[in-house]
Structure 1
Amino acid sequence: MPRLLVDTRPLRASPAYARLWWGLGLSQIGAQVTVMAVGLEVYHLTGSTFAVGLLGIFALVPTILLGLYGGALADAFDRKKVALAAAGVTVVGTGGLVLHSILGLTSTVVLYVLAAVTAAGASMSAPVRMAIIPRLVGNDLLPAANALGTMTGSIALTVGPMLGGFLAAFVGYGWTYTVDLALFMFALYALVRLPPMPPERATVGHHTNDAGDAGDVSEVADAADEPSRRVGFRAVWEGFRFLADRPNIRMTFVLDIVAMVTAMPRVLFPAVGAVLIGGGETTAGQLTAAIAIGSLLASAFSGGLTRVRRQGVAIVVAIVAFGLCTSAFGIVLLLLGRSSGERPGVVVWGLVVGGLCLVGAGACDAISAVFRQTVLQAATPDHLRGRLQGIFIVVVTGGPRLGDLVLGGSAERFGEALTAFGGGLACVAIVLALAAWQRGFLRYDARHPTP
């Protein structure tokens, strides 16, 4: 049993990593509190699921631009300084949400803009943080550090939405956003305490990382890819050019986009809590947390996944199961029916059974994420890893936001129940079609990683 659990050695080996892990873990909880609160506030002001979905579109553009640019910055400048700059953007966005509430404003446009600012900061910082962690723990402890990061993300997705729904219901939106701002200070402290992290020059041979661990590196770049501050469109384009000729890495991105656009039902939760299951904001938070509970369970007991070699097959199976779980959630909603107004109480069986469907969806999504990240890391050369991680961040954050718009628009026309049911089935059909088209992806072997 201990061999199935998460390895905590990185926390003991690197004090800088331990501070960053704790700081980012707490700040991720705060970020999820705000994501839930902003969605609830928009729904409260408009009564429209489509309006909640528009939050995703307003955040999508900065997510794409700064996610890609952040990856290029991670390969060119001191990563500590880039991370601090991104943190400043996040503070501005969250602080704006606090002021919006304190001043008693009710503008959804302002909420959209501030949500976009916070998304910009998060998208810019994520690939930089991913590039920092190997420097802190060394290659030997990197898998354990990634597992710890997955666990904190799952905990944040479990605790944050429930806390956000509770705070929004009982203390108001202003205090809810203030909690996020306070928790983010722990991450800011951890970033300030980091050592300087200028980009390493491409070398061959032995080196020592920032944690004091020795390791081997190979030549990772030619002269043009030395840390020459080249961070414009050409640098970003090199990552896309590499991706265009690597079908296995490309399929991991495409499959994730399909799953998130067709079958991630989170945008439906405010309406589900109001008129189908009942319970309002609290139910919406619980349903969101159910997905994260499944992810947490899968990541906490992920030791056995290291023995899986046919990782392409594993990704396809996990995403198909994800779609089926979303369709099962839709069936629960269909059985509940839609009332003419808001439900005065909670339909307990609907919350329990629907929540279990979402727990299954979260577990499948986490398993897919483990293998998609593994394929990306194993098949990408080091000198392009920052830029590919930038593309990865765009996919994993932009896909769900685009899905919010698609499913939100569908719910306005067909209802939340049919949207969840049909979206899950569409996910299954598209993924199986893609797998049949790209059969080489099903033959991917972790013992011989090929991009």
Structure 2
Amino acid sequence: MRGLFADTRPLRTPAFRRLWVANIVTVIGAQLTVVAVPAQIWTLTHSSAMVGLTGLFGLVPLVVFGLWGGALADHMDRRTLLVGTTTGLIVTSALFTALSLLGNTNVWLLLTVFSLQQACFALNQPARQAILPVLLPTDQLTSANALGMTVMSAGAIAGPLVGGALIPVLGFAWLYGIDTIFLFATLWAVVSLPPLPVQGAGKGAPGLRSVIDGLAYLRLHPILLMSFVVDLIAMIFGMPRALFPQIANLDFGGPTEGGLAFALLFAAIPAGAVVGGVFSGWVSRVRRTGAAVLWCIAAWGAAITVFGVAVGLAHLSEPVMLALGVAALAAAGAADMASAAFRQSILLAAADDAVRGRLQGVFIVVVVGGPRIADVLHGGAAQVAGTACTTIGGGVLVLVLLGLATLAYPAFARYRLPSGAASASD
């Protein structure tokens, strides 16, 4: 039975444990904002296309600052970078709170603050992930990633459930305010880290040349490149979250602001990821890591297709189809948790420390930027084809494109995580 549950060995390292415990608090607050922004835009505009614009306003800073943040993470002490960017996240969350308290109805101002928040996030994440091989042995990286995904997913359950229930009662300002307060837990955790200088840090200013060098490194390592390609396929074509407000309101009969269906749809994917994370003891025993990634993404595409079918049949029985749709999204979440743990481990184990930050910048651009592109594409497509056809078509495209990518580079399916250990740090 012990082998079924999550491997908790990484929690024996104090620095990792502090970050992990802080995330339990801060992820809940962050997810309140993730729910509040699209809900507020839908309330102001009643347009899925406008909700989808959050993808565009989030994508540009994620790409620009994600890549630059990776370069910064390879040139300066990563602890210093984490402290500065976490402070930026606190400030932008406070701006959301102030705008809501002042009764702002300007959608473009809301989207601008959202872009600033995403820029801080993009600068923060490459350093946050790049420090793991310094803190933990190589054979614990997959388990550490699974633990991190479990916490993030648990917060993503609590956030939509609490947010969906509280938006009609307390309003948006309270949700943004809670996120602002909770972010101080993360600030405490990163301030408590030891100095984290980069081994073999790059010379000169971390500008465009440094970013290009990181991309060139990626181009010469096709296994790493393939891990990004297959995730882009899954996220761009198989992430219909921009449609959740419309699906909850029009297909499943929920209110325009929040409601049970709205909360369940947003919480389903992270709920599945939490269940997958709790029973993730198997991930550290997988040897063919590349093949595991492919199977996980195939499972994601199939589950999203089933969700689209449930939306299309909602008129037959809203409660039954809602239950089927939520179950399908939960299955997709479990598959995504395992896929992310495997892909992140491939990247951390295969890259040199001197370029690890820049490759993490690319990873963040792919992981978070892919869904932002999906927000725009799904929001626009749903205006023409409807929510059900858009979702079904996206799930099918994931399976087709994944098959083509596997045929184009079959070596990825044979990839195995290298053995070896890194020195742990307190």
Q: How does 1:63-102 map to 2 (within 5 A)?
A: 63-102=62-101
In the TM superposition, 1:51-450 aligns within 5 A as: 51-137=50-136, 141-200=140-199, 202=200, 226-280=201-255, 281-282=258-259, 283-337=261-315, 347-446=318-417
TM-score (norm 1): 0.88
SS at match of 2:7: coil
Higher deviation after alignment, 126-135 or 179-188: 126-135
Aligned to 1:279, the other structure's residue is in SS state coil
Q: CA RMSD in A?
A: 2.0
Q: CA deviation at 1:88?
A: 2.2
CA distance in 1, matches of 2:375, 2:50: 10
5+ residue gaps, structure 1 = 203-225, 339-345
* Larger Rg computed on CA atoms: 1
Question: Secondary structure of the equivalent of 1:198?
Answer: coil
Deviations 1:380-423 (A, max 9, x none): 22221111111101100100011010011111111111111111
Residues 99-137 of structure 1, C-alpha deviation per residue, up to 9 Å, x if partnerless?
111111101001111111111111111111113344444
Shift of 1:87: 1.4
What's the % identity of the aligned pairs? 39
Which ranges in structure 2 are unaligned for 5 or more consecutive residues? 421-426
Question: How many aligned positions are there?
Answer: 417
CA distance in 2, matches of 1:305, 1:142: 10
- CA distance in structure 1 between the partners assigned to 2:398 and 2:173 by the alignment: 38
Show the counterpart of 1:207.
Answer: none
Report if aligned partners of 1:161, 1:289 keep a CA contact under 8 Å in 2: yes
The one-character-per-residue Cα deviations of 1:47-89 (angstroms, maximum 9, x if unpaired) are 1111111001101111111111111111211222211211122
Q: Distance in 2 between matches of 1:305 and 1:143?
A: 7
Answer whether contact 2:88 2:120 (CA < 8 A) is retained. Answer: yes
Aligned to 2:8: 8
3-state SS in 2 of match to 1:303: coil
Alpha-carbon spacing, 1:6–1:176, altered in 2? closer, same or farther (3 Å): same
In structure 1, what is the Cα distance between the partners aligned to 2:142 and 2:295?
Answer: 23
Distance 1:278 1:60, change over 3 A: same
Deviation at 1:228, TM superposition (A): 3.4
- Give a deviation string over 1:5-46, Cα, whole Å, max 9, x none: 2233443441x4332222233212211110110000000111
Contact 2:52 2:379 in 1 (8 A): yes
Does 1 or 2 have the higher relative contact order (CA < 8 Å, sep 6+)? 2
**Which residue does 1:210 correspond to in 2?**
none
Structure 1 contact 295–362 (Cα < 8 Å) conserved: yes
Q: 1:227 to 1:444 in 2, by over 3 A?
A: closer
Distance 1:19 1:306 in 2: 22
Instruction: Tell me which amino acid in the other structure corresponds to 2:288.
Output: R
Contact 2:141 2:345 in 1 (8 A): no
Q: CA deviation at 1:245?
A: 2.0
Tell me the alpha carbon deviations over residues 125-176 of structure 1, each in whole angstroms, 9 at most, x when there is no partner: 1111113344444556544433321221121222222222222122100111
